C-alpha cells in the first residue's frame, strides 16, 4: 500500500476517535490537537495494528506525535 492509500485508511480509522471533528492535516497532533488521552491512543494504535497487520512498538509510539509521522511509520512497517 503506498503512502497516499495508507494516509486515506488511517484518516478513516481516526474518524471514530475524532470526537471534536478536528480537520486532520499532516501536522495534526494526537495529544495536542485531538486531545487524546493515553487510553484513546492505545485503542487507536490497536485499530491501526489490526487493520494494517503490523506491530507498532512502544518506542515507536513514543516518537509518533503527528498524523504525518504516523503515516510514515505505518508505510515503513508495511515494508
3-class DSSP assignment, residue 45: helix
Whole-prediction pTM: 0.93
14 burial level (CB within 10 Å; 0-12, 13-18, 19+): buried
Domains parsed from the chain with CATH numbers = 3-77 (1.10.1200.10)
Percentage of the chain beyond pLDDT 70 is 100
What cell numbers appear for 65 in the block? 506525535
User: If you write DSSP's letter for every residue of 8-39 in order, what string do you get?
Assistant: HHHHHHHGGG-TT-PPP-TT-BTTTTS---HH
Residue 79 has pLDDT above 90, yes or no: no
- Cell readout for 70 is 504516523
Q: What is the pLDDT of residues 27-57, one digit of tens each?
A: 999 999 999 999 999 999 999 999 999 999 9
H-run or E-run covering 59: helix 58-63
Amino acid at each position: 500500500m503506498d503512502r497516499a492509500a495508507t494516509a486515506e485508511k488511517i484518516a478513516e480509522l481516526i474518524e471514530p476517535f475524532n470526537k471534536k471533528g478536528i480537520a486532520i492535516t499532516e501536522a495534526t497532533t494526537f495529544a495536542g490537537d485531538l486531545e487524546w488521552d493515553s487510553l484513546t491512543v492505545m485503542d487507536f494504535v490497536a485499530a491501526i495494528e489490526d487493520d494494517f497487520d503490523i506491530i507498532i512498538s512502544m518506542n515507536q509510539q513514543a516518537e509518533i506525535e503527528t498524523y504525518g509521522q504516523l503515516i510514515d511509520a505505518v508505510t515503513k512497517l508495511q515494508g
